[in-house]
């Protein structure tokens, strides 16, 4: 009989431990004596807990937490505990992000209990995303911070966690006549007849489209809209997404022509690239190195000197990045130029390439895609097709 009881105990103990480990959030130490309770606010007690006892926390609810103390599960007040530390979290990271500042990671949103810190300008894993609060992990620290304290979010599993704050374009317009395109920030450029311009919305009179960091419009008479087909419904030859960015003939000043040449050259190198399901795309694999020996001219870029060979190619990567962002394509590598970004796209939506950065993604769609890249004398358009 004793052997049977011992065997039952051995069978039950691993099960309890395993279930606990899956939800183990924090470890703490009691700073006052109390009685463990079977439920929050319960009048009855389970057991007496002395000062200095180790506590394993599995759930936090307001001022209370569900914990295991001295092998017994129950509830206690958070204010009775001290020296909080995060356990190894058994959750899937949803996004990667960068810290705006040194962060104090809190036990719960709005909690005064700090469980650790994350330094300024470091990559963190985002386990839960909210418009106001995020649950993040940095090294062995897990806690909550304000969403506004993070930037450069990248989905780690785009099939489950779509890209954040993305407004897809409605479709594309092939201009049947010249159209002047400008905005509050952009001095303007004359788009030629035959140019393909991606637009975000349309009414009876005009198309609206993102132009630099604001919005521009062109007349409905300038061309006919071809809507993008939802990727789930697309047939071979259909366009499932696209984006256009703009620059005027003087962008780059005395090196403006060189900048436009570099954009044209890079477009030729990625144009008509076909990706089968599961294929990997690397912009640098097709376009680098950015040297005179690879055909590039010197032009303005974001560097200490303000210019370099291949200056301008990042406008194409930025356009490509914004074309694929609304689609379930898994972005593996992406970096902005700097926190302030670049003038021709809203902040945090540019994509830098160079010696240290690349734009890489996988085709996670169930069919092949084709990349269309077209320079247009002051505009560059990237379209994503379901390949034939």
Residue with tokens 């809203």: 346
pTM of the predicted model as reported, rounded to 2 decimal places = 0.85
194: CB partners within 8 A, 6+ apart: 174, 175
Structure-block tokens of residue 353 = 């390439």
b/e map 118-134, b = 16+ CB within 10 Å: beeeeebbbbebeeebb
| CA dihedral of residues 237, 239, 243, 244 (deg, nearest 10) | 60
How far is 249 from 270, CA to CA, in rounded Å? 23
- Residues contacting residue 156 through CB under 8 Å, at least 6 positions apart: 93, 94, 95, 96, 125
> How would DSSP label each residue in 315-371?
HHHHHHHHHHTTSS-EEEE---SSTT--TTS-TT-----SSS---EEE--SSS-EEE
Q: How far apart are CA 50 and CA 202, in angstroms?
A: 69
Round to the nearest angstrom and report the end-to-end CA distance of the chain. Answer: 73
Round the CA-based radius of gyration of the chain to a whole number and report it: 27
Please list the pLDDT of the chain residue by residue as tens digits (388 residues): 544 444 444 344 333 333 356 678 888 999 999 999 999 999 999 999 999 999 999 988 888 999 999 999 999 999 999 888 777 666 789 999 999 999 999 988 988 888 889 999 999 999 999 999 999 999 878 889 999 999 999 999 999 999 999 999 999 999 999 999 999 889 999 999 999 999 999 999 999 999 999 999 999 999 999 999 999 999 999 999 999 999 987 787 889 999 999 999 999 999 999 999 999 999 999 999 999 999 999 998 877 777 899 999 999 999 999 999 999 999 999 999 888 889 999 999 999 999 899 999 999 999 999 999 999 999 999 999 999 8
Signed CA dihedral, 289, 292, 298, 303: sign only: positive
Residue that has been written with the tokens 């604001």 in this structure? 214
Distance CA(362)–CA(278), nearest Å, equals 6
């Amino acid at each position: 009989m004793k052997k049977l009881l011992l065997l039952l105990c051995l069978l039950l103990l691993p099960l309890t431990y395993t279930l606990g480990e899956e939800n183990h959030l924090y470890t703490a130490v009691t700073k006052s004596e109390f009685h463990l309770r079977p439920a929050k606010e319960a009048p009855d007690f389970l057991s007496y807990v002395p000062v200095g006892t180790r506590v394993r926390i599995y759930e936090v609810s307001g001022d209370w937490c569900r914990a295991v103390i001295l092998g017994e599960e129950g509830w206690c007040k958070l204010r009775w505990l001290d020296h909080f530390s995060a356990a190894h979290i058994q959750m899937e990271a949803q996004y990667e992000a960068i810290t705006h500042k040194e962060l104090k990671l809190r036990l719960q949103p709005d909690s005064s209990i700090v469980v650790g810190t994350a330094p300024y300008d470091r990559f963190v894993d985002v386990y839960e995303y909210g418009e106001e609060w995020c649950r993040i992990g940095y090294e062995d620290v897990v806690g909550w911070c304000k969403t506004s304290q993070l930037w450069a979010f990248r989905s780690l599993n785009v099939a489950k966690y779509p890209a954040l704050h993305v407004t897809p374009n409605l479709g594309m317009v092939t201009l049947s006549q010249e159209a002047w395109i400008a905005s509050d920030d952009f001095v303007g450029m004359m788009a030629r007849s035959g140019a393909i311009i991606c637009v975000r919305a349309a009414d009876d009179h005009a198309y609206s489209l993102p132009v630099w960091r604001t919005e521009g419009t062109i007349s409905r008479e300038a061309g006919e809209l071809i809507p993008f087909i939802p990727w789930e419904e697309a047939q071979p030859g259909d366009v499932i997404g696209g984006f256009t960015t703009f620059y005027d003939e003087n962008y780059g000043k005395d090196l403006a022509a060189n900048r436009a040449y570099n954009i044209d050259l890079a477009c030729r190198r990625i144009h008509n690239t076909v990706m089968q399901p599961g294929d990997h795309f690397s912009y640098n694999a097709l376009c680098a190195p950015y040297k005179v020996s690879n055909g590039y001219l010197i032009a303005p870029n974001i560097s200490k000197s303000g210019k370099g060979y291949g200056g301008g190619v990042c406008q194409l990567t930025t356009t490509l990045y914004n074309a694929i962002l609304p689609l379930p394509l898994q972005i593996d590598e992406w970096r902005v130029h700097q926190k302030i970004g670049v003038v021709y796209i809203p902040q945090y939506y540019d994509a830098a390439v160079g010696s240290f950065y690349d734009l890489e993604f996988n085709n996670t769609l169930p069919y092949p895609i084709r990349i269309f890249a077209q320079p247009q004398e002051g505009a560059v358009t990237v379209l994503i097709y379901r390949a034939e």
